[in-house]
């Protein structure tokens, strides 16, 4: 009787404390981007897929943000579990550089995937008199909303070319506002990131008002890369879907990386990749967002920067046949 009573009491305590029950569902926020941008369009379906396939074990929530700058900050501080970020912000947070100097060097995240390369697009209406960057002095330029990676890249380009601040009339408009403003000729220039060669907002404008991409000179391209070492030389070929684009555009390129914070379990990182990076999943997701077309485990560019890859991600990509540099695989 005494033994039975002890068993009943032990069972009751275990029930209250959760012992012997199924593990609680792990919940994570997936940072996306600003309304009108390409990232929410791509990440929304991915979150839905994760929740369908991992129901009961993990729950992911699509978390709107201002873009790369905010995403990297929130993952670094543990406010968001996972997100995409431009290499510029990933490297800056890792080293405590602007705009993250207020929180210092952040080592509370790891890279889990190489999303794709972006190019920088600077566009005008096809009938605009602006033919070069030097023609932009005194013109109204949309640099997109502050806090987004796209805006940071635009600011970097115009800063390196000594046009910002002071020589252009900068506007920090959202994507939808920039689209309307360019169509209505309230702005002269629309700067944005390409995915990798176009952006939906600019392509949409071209349907009713043909647009041209402005090309850098070789000297301008070098000047931008000398000031910001994480950029690479890039030339955008003519894009048939962009009405009015009649010549290639020399510009700069940069990577987009998928990161996860230390608050995510190793199993969550591994299973997240196992679902999303499956070739069939990527083929389906790419229909909603072209970013998914090139997701890979190519982490070679991180070696020079000394940024670490998540061990669970390294395990997944190695199983897929990727050559992940051992020296940059490190846990927390």
pLDDT tens-digit series, residues 33-71: 887 777 888 999 999 999 999 998 999 999 999 888 999
- The first and second tokens of residue 330, run together, are 């490190």
d(CA 192, CA 76) in angstroms, rounded, equals: 25
pTM, whole model, 2 decimals? Answer: 0.76
List, in order, residues 6 or more apart from 153 with CB less than 8 Å away: 86, 88, 120, 193, 254
Q: Which helix (H) or strand (E) holds 43?
A: helix 38-53
Longest Cα–Cα distance of the chain, Å, equals 95
d(CA 5, CA 11) in angstroms, rounded, equals: 10
- The CB-side HSE value for 47 (13 A sphere, CA atoms) comes to 21
- Within 111-189, residue ranges assigned H as helices are 149-160, 175-183
Domains of the chain: 26-117+256-323 (3.40.190.10), 119-254 (3.40.190.10)
pLDDT tens-digit series, residues 230-283: 888 989 999 999 999 999 999 999 889 999 999 999 999 999 999 999 999 999
**Residues linked to residue 63 through DSSP beta bridges, in sequence order:** 31
Do residues 50 and 258 make contact, with C-beta atoms less than 8 angstroms apart? no
């Amino acid at each position: 009787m005494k033994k039975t009573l002890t068993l009943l009491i032990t069972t009751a305590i275990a029930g209250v404390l959760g012992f012997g029950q199924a593990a609680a569902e792990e919940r994570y926020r997936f940072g996306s981007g600003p309304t009108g941008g390409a990232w929410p369009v791509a990440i929304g379906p991915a979150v839905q897929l994760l929740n369908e396939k991992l129901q009961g074990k993990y729950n992911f929530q699509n978390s709107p943000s201002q873009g790369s700058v905010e995403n990297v900050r929130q993952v670094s501080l543990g406010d968001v579990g996972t997100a995409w970020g431009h290499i510029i912000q990933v490297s800056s947070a890792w080293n405590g550089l602007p705009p993250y100097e207020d929180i210092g060097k952040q080592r509370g995240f790891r890279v889990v995937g190489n999303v794709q390369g972006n190019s920088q697009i600077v566009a005008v209406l096809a009938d605009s008199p602006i033919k070069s960057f030097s023609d932009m002095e005194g013109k109204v330029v949309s640099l997109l909303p502050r806090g987004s990676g796209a805006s940071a890249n635009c600011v970097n380009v115009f800063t390196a070319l000594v046009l910002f601040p002071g020589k252009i009339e900068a506007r920090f408009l959202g994507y939808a506002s920039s689209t309307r403003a360019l169509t209505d000729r309230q702005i002269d220039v629309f700067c944005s990131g390409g995915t990798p060669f176009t952006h939906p907002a600019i392509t949409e404008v071209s349907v009713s008002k043909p647009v041209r991409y402005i090309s850098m000179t070789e000297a301008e391209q070098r000047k931008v890369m000398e000031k910001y070492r994480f950029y690479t030389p890039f030339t955008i070929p003519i894009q048939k879907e962009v009405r009015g684009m009649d010549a290639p555009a020399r510009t700069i390129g940069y990577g987009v990386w998928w990161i996860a914070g230390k608050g995510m379990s190793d199993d969550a990182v591994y299973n997240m990749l196992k679902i999303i990076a499956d070739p069939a999943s990527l083929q389906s997701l790419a229909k909603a967002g072209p970013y998914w077309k090139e997701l890979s485990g190519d982490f070679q560019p991180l070696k020079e920067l000394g940024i670490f890859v998540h061990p669970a991600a390294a395990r997944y990509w190695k199983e897929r046949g990727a050559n992940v540099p051992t020296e940059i695989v490190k846990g927390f």
